[in-house]
Amino acid sequence: MLKYTGFGFPVFSGAGFVAQTGLLPLPVPITTVMGPPVQVTKWAGSTADPAFRAATVQLHATYMAALQKLYDDNKEQYHKHRQRDMQFVQ
């Protein structure tokens, strides 16, 4: 078809409402785990203030620690056959 029309037609394969095939994504189970909220206070000063950068770095560290704890608390239940543990990339 590309030779005659200049473009190719995409081929879709997925789930459908009635038929076995269609355009919807295939159903895959998704597990969502929620943790306690991370407390954030609104910054009243200027974002150019060096204290803003320090507060942002501290909040990021708090968030990453909470995320690591959430993973550690639930990895045995939802990720039994893991090859390696979660790693943060910066």
3-state SS of 18-63 is CCCCECECCCCCCCCCCCCCCCCCCCCCCCCCHHHHHHHHHHHHHH
| pLDDT string in tens for the chain (90-residue length) | 667 777 777 776 778 777 677 777 878 888 899 999 999 999 998 999 999 999 999 999 999 999 999 999 999 998 888 888 888 887
**In the chain, what are the domain boundaries?**
49-73
pLDDT for the residue numbered 1: 61
